[in-house]
C-alpha cells in the first residue's frame, strides 16, 4: 500500500450492487484500507435497490445510503432539460447524461455529511460517465478526491472481475456468470441504454427481444390512442386532465409510449473523450415530451425567441452530454430558457400510433400568439393589409438586387 493510498480513510462509493461496483467495494477496502460508505440512487432504473443494502452489509459497510430520487430527478433535471428541447447530435435525448449530475451532487453531499476523504465511481476510462461524475463533483466540491478504479486496477476483463469475485466470495448473479445479456444496459426513469458487446458492430441489427420497455411498432395496437397534456410554464402538469407529479408524468408517458412502440433509437454518437460509440436507446416518454413541448411553444413563443432557443439548443445539449450541468454557462443558459417558458401554458393533443407521435391540436387560453383573424385565408376585414407585403419584399430584396446589378455590369 502506498503512502497516497493509505491517506484515504473514508470513501463514498456510487454503488449499484452489481458485479462491477461489488468488486470495487472490496477492492477499495483491500487497496486503500479505508472505510467504504455506499450510496445507491433510485432514479427509476426499474430494479430493486434493496439487494444493494444486503450486499453492502456482507462486506462490513456500516453507513449505507439508499435514496429514492425519482421526483428530484425528473423535476430538477429532466424537466429543465426538456424546456430547452435538448437533443444531442440531432437524435439523442440525453437519458444517461442527465442522470449523472444528480448522482454526483449526492455523492459530494454525503461525503461532506460523513467526513469522507474521497468519492468513487464505477465508470470506465473510455466513456463519458467518468467525465460527467467528476466534473459535477469538482464543481460542487473543488478539492474532493476521486478514485476511479477502472483507471487504476488491472481487472480489465470480465474473466478477471469474476475471478476476483470468486477469490473474495463476492456474490455474483447467475446470469452474470453465464454471460448475461450480450451488451451492457443503463436505465433510469427517462430511458434505457444498450451498448457494448454485440452492439459494437454498428452494422448489426439488435434482436427485438433486446428492447425492454417498448413493443415493436409492428406489434403495437392497430388503433391510435389520443392523449391530452397540460402545460404550465413549460412543464407538463397533467395528463388527460389528471394532475400528476413530475415523476408520475414521465412514468405514465413511458407506459403510453412503450405500448405504442414509440421512442426507439439506434445511434452512432461522438463521445466527449474522442471516439465514436454505437448505442441503442428507448425513450418513450421523452419522445412524446419533446414533440408536445415544441407544439406548445409553436403558439406561445415569439418567432425570434423560438429561433434564439433553437440556435442555443445544440450548445446546451453538448454541455449536458459532456458533463457541464453545474457550469456557469449552463446555469446562465437555463435562466434564459426558463424565462422564455413563462408563457408556455396550455394544452397539446397527441395521437400515438405504431411508433409515431402526431400533434393533432394545441391551445392556450392565456398566451396564444396565433390570431385567426390575421392568419385566415378568407376575408380578414382589413386586419392585414396585403399591399404592405410589396414594400417588405422590396426592402428585403435590396441587397440581392444590388449584387445582381453589380454582376450584370461585370
Examine the pLDDT at 177 and tell me if it is beyond 60: no
Give residue 3's pLDDT band: very low, low, confident or very high (50, 70, 90).
very low
Of 290, 40, 312, the residue nearest 190 (C-alpha): 290
Indicate whether 60 and 144 sit together in one domain. yes
Query: What per-residue confidence (pLDDT) applies to 173?
Result: 72
316 in a domain, yes or no? no
Q: Does residue 215 have a pLDDT over 80?
A: yes
Model confidence at 1, pLDDT cuts 50, 70, 90, reads very low
pTM (predicted TM-score): 0.95
Q: State the CATH number of the domain containing residue 273.
A: 3.90.1260.10
Task: State the residue range of the domain holding 212.
Answer: 187-301+344-361
Domain-located, residue 339: no
C-alpha cell at 410: 461585370
Within 8 A by CB and 6+ apart from 105, the residues are 136, 140, 326
Q: Which residues are catalytic?
A: 20, 100, 129, 184
Q: Which triple of cell numbers denotes residue 336?
A: 434564459
Total of domains in the chain: 2
Quick check: 42 and 67 in contact, CB under 8 A? yes
pLDDT at 244 over 60: yes
Find cell 473510455 and name the residue: 126
Whether 24 maps to a domain, the answer reads yes
Q: Decide if 56 is inside a domain.
A: yes
Residue pair 66/57 in contact (Cβ under 8 Å)? The answer is no
Q: Are 140 and 326 in contact (CB under 8 A)?
A: yes
| Whether 168 and 261 share a structural domain | no
Question: Do 205 and 139 fall within a single domain?
Answer: no
Q: What is the pLDDT of residues 222-241, one digit of tens each?
A: 999 999 999 999 999 999 99
| pLDDT(93) > 90 | yes
DSSP 204: P
Residue that finishes a domain, picked among 148, 180, 212: 180
**Least confident residue range of 164-178, 238-252, 331-345:** 164-178
pLDDT in tens, 30-57: 999 999 999 999 999 988 788 899 999 9
Please name which of 82, 89, 78, 45 lies closest in space to residue 265, comparing C-alpha atoms. 89
pLDDT band at 7 (very low <50, low <70, confident <90, very high): confident
**32 and 13 share one domain:** yes
Q: Give the model confidence (pLDDT) of 199-212 as tens digits.
A: 999 999 999 999 99
Question: Is the same domain home to 216 and 143?
Answer: no
In a domain, 355, yes or no: yes
Is residue 280's pLDDT more than 60? Answer: yes
Final residue of a structural domain among 180, 207, 239: 180
Give the SS3 label for residue 273: coil
CATH code for position 132: 3.40.50.620
Task: Give the whole-angstrom CA distance, residue 236 versus residue 238.
Answer: 6
Q: What are phi and psi of 266, to 5 degrees?
A: -120, 115
- Does 209 share its domain with 250? yes
The reported pLDDT for the residue numbered 179 is 57
C-alpha pair distances (Å), 354 with each of 145, 184, 343, 359:
49, 27, 32, 14
Which grid coordinates are listed for 143?
A: 478539492
Give the rounded distance of the alpha carbon of 318 from its chain centre. Answer: 12
Give the CA angle between residues 86, 367, 226 to the nearest 5°. 65
Q: Both 222 and 103 in a single domain?
A: no
Amino acid at each position: 500500500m502506498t503512502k497516497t493510498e493509505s491517506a484515504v480513510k473514508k470513501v463514498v462509493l456510487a454503488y449499484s450492487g452489481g458485479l462491477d461496483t461489488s468488486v470495487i467495494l472490496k477492492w477499495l477496502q483491500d487497496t486503500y484500507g479505508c472505510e467504504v460508505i455506499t450510496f445507491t440512487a433510485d432514479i427509476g432504473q426499474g430494479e430493486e435497490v434493496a439487494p444493494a443494502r444486503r450486499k453492502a452489509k456482507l462486506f462490513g459497510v456500516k453507513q449505507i445510503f439508499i435514496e429514492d430520487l425519482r421526483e428530484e430527478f425528473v423535476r430538477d433535471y429532466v424537466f429543465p432539460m426538456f424546456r430547452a428541447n435538448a437533443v444531442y447530435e440531432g437524435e439523442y435525448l440525453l437519458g444517461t447524461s442527465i442522470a449523472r449530475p444528480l448522482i454526483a451532487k449526492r455523492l459530494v453531499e454525503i461525503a461532506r455529511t460523513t467526513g469522507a476523504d474521497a468519492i468513487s465511481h464505477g465508470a470506465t476510462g473510455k466513456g463519458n460517465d467518468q467525465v460527467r461524475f467528476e466534473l459535477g463533483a469538482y464543481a460542487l466540491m473543488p478539492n474532493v478526491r476521486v478514485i476511479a478504479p477502472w483507471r487504476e486496477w488491472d481487472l480489465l476483463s470480465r474473466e478477471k472481475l469474476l475471478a476476483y469475485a470468486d477469490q473474495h466470495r463476492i456474490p455474483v448473479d447467475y446470469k452474470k456468470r453465464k454471460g448475461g445479456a450480450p451488451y451492457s444496459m443503463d436505465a433510469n426513469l427517462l430511458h434505457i441504454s444498450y451498448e457494448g458487446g454485440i452492439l459494437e458492430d454498428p452494422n448489426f441489427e439488435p434482436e427485438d427481444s433486446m428492447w425492454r420497455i417498448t413493443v415493436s411498432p409492428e406489434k403495437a395496437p392497430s388503433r391510435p390512442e389520443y392523449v391530452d397534456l397540460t402545460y404550465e410554464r413549460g412543464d407538463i402538469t397533467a395528463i388527460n386532465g389528471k394532475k400528476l407529479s413530475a415523476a408520475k408524468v414521465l412514468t405514465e408517458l413511458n407506459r403510453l409510449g412503450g405500448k405504442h412502440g414509440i421512442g426507439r433509437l439506434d445511434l452512432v454518437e461522438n463521445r466527449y473523450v474522442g471516439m465514436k460509440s454505437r448505442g441503442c436507446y428507448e425513450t418513450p416518454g421523452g419522445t412524446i415530451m419533446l414533440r408536445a413541448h415544441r407544439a406548445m411553444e409553436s403558439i406561445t413563443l415569439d418567432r425570434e425567441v423560438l429561433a434564439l432557443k433553437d440556435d442555443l439548443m445544440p450548445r446546451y445539449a453538448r454541455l449536458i452530454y459532456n458533463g457541464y450541468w453545474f457550469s456557469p454557462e449552463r446555469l446562465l443558459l437555463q435562466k434564459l430558457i426558463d424565462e422564455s417558458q413563462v408563457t408556455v401554458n396550455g394544452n397539446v393533443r397527441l395521437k400515438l400510433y405504431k411508433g409515431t407521435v402526431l400533434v393533432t391540436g394545441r391551445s392556450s387560453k392565456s398566451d396564444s400568439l396565433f390570431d385567426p383573424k390575421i392568419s385566415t385565408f378568407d376575408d380578414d376585414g382589413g386586419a392585414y393589409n396585403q399591399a404592405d407585403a410589396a414594400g417588405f419584399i422590396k426592402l428585403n430584396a435590396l441587397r440581392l438586387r444590388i449584387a445582381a446589378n453589380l454582376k450584370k455590369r461585370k
